[in-house]
Structure 1
């Protein structure tokens, strides 16, 4: 499969295109199906980007995104090519107005990321290292529902997953290395502070 030079903007473009049908909302299953044609990493990118957008303010939205991220990551770890989501997630509808606002908010960030991500250190995106990245995404997704009441925590974890998904999508192992290193240092610092 040919990798796009604008993977983040492509996810936003796909979302906007689906919203142009004039519906009141966008079903999660529609977006997942459309992105899944391109890459499972693109499917993982969608909910993680949503978590760093204004959509994260919707009650229980972070939990739904976390469960979605966990399910996608688990299936990536299993090597599945076709994704499955339970009906309570796949049938969930994203409000059109809020989703359009979120894509507009993320446009400048998406353009900035697309300019800087390129194919580097690709050996870090092959097994066994790839499994570590997918495992981190799985853990971040599983933790999110428990952090619903703590402001911004889900957005931070969503940012971590977005960066790892982007590294997989673009073949940029350097971004994965920097992200994992930063996450490790943050966890280590928090552990030292707490204990």
Structure 2
């Protein structure tokens, strides 16, 4: 028997909460409808759910060889600051600069992403779940956004140091994962680590 629209919505909501990362990929596929869409359309359709994935992706990029390329840490730092500032001011739909709006998301690239990342997303989704949700909403998101901006600022000079952006990138990825999965444990862990890193950098500067 076919599901009603309400039942279909409940199943989709359950997927996005019980498996936040794969649920997010499902949502992007729903938005694309098997067609090529621009990144602006995807981000706007995700609304306030897009802030976490953007921070998570930027953090992951900084952990790869891509993050070692000249200029990349600075570019990713600017993106992190841009999206974190909008999270700070509780924007419901992120604004993106023109060069990001031009990025195209094809059905083929989504299929490749699912095949490549699917098993990893399953593993992460088994760990991430809605916990300590007070840390994933309201004032705590403001604190998280401020910390992400501070970490991104430190990346500007650290980008000239080999592997200098790995630690802030890892922390930003942790917080992005926590926001995406509504998991306060990951957000609090990221905040604790960021405090230690910022104190260490401050002492080095002095």
In the alignment, is the contact (CA less than 8 A) between 2:17 and 2:130 conserved in 1?
Answer: no
Runs of at least 5 residues in structure 2 that lack an aligned partner in the other structure: 1-8
2:138 is matched with which residue? Answer: 127
- Determine if contact 2:73/2:156 at 8 Å carries over to the other structure: yes
The answer to whether the Cα contact below 8 Å between 1:77 and 1:131 also exists between their aligned partners in 2 is: yes
Structure number with larger C-alpha Rg: 2
Query: 1:5 corresponds to which residue?
Result: 18
| One of 142, 153, 170 as aligned partner of 1:159 | 170
What TM-score does the superposition give when structure 1 sets the normalisation length? 0.71
* Partner in structure 1 of residue 5 of structure 2: none
Structure 2 CA distance, aligned partners of 1:189 and 1:40? 27
Conserved? CA contact 1:14–1:34, under 8 Å: no
Measured against aligned partners, the alpha-carbon deviations of 1:141-164 in whole angstroms (never above 9, x if no partner) come to 233222221122223212111111
**3-state SS of 1:153 partner:** coil
Q: Answer yes or no: is the 8 Å Cα contact 2:151–2:194 preserved in 1.
A: no
Measured after TM superposition, the shift of residue 117 of structure 1 is 1.1
* Per-residue deviation, 1:57: 3.3
* Structure 1 runs not aligned, ≥5 long: none
Whether contact under 8 Å (1:40, 1:81) holds in the other structure is no
The alignment's C-alpha RMSD in Å is: 3.7
Whole-Å separation in 1 of the counterparts to 2:27 and 2:192: 31
Tell me, in whole angstroms, the C-alpha distance in 1 between the residues paired with 2:80 and 2:138: 20
The answer to whether residue 85 in structure 2 is matched with residue 85 in structure 1 is: no
Q: Spell out the pairing of 1:39-188 with structure 2 (5 A cutoff).
A: 39-91=50-102, 104=116, 110-188=121-199
Per mean C-alpha deviation after superposition, the further-off stretch among 127-136 and 176-185 is 176-185
What is the TM-score normalised by the length of structure 2? 0.68
Q: Conserved in 2, the CA contact under 8 Å of 1:48 and 1:162?
A: yes
Residues 158 and 171 of structure 1, relative CA distance in 2, 3 Å threshold: same
Kept in 2: contact 1:32–1:43 (CA 8 A): no
What is the number of equivalent residue pairs in this alignment? 186
From the superposition, tell whether residues 88 and 191 of structure 1 become closer, same or farther in structure 2 (CA, over 3 Å).
same
Is contact 1:36-1:43 (8 Å) kept? no
Deviation, 1:187, is 3.8
CA distance in 1 between partners of 2:96 and 2:57 (Å): 14
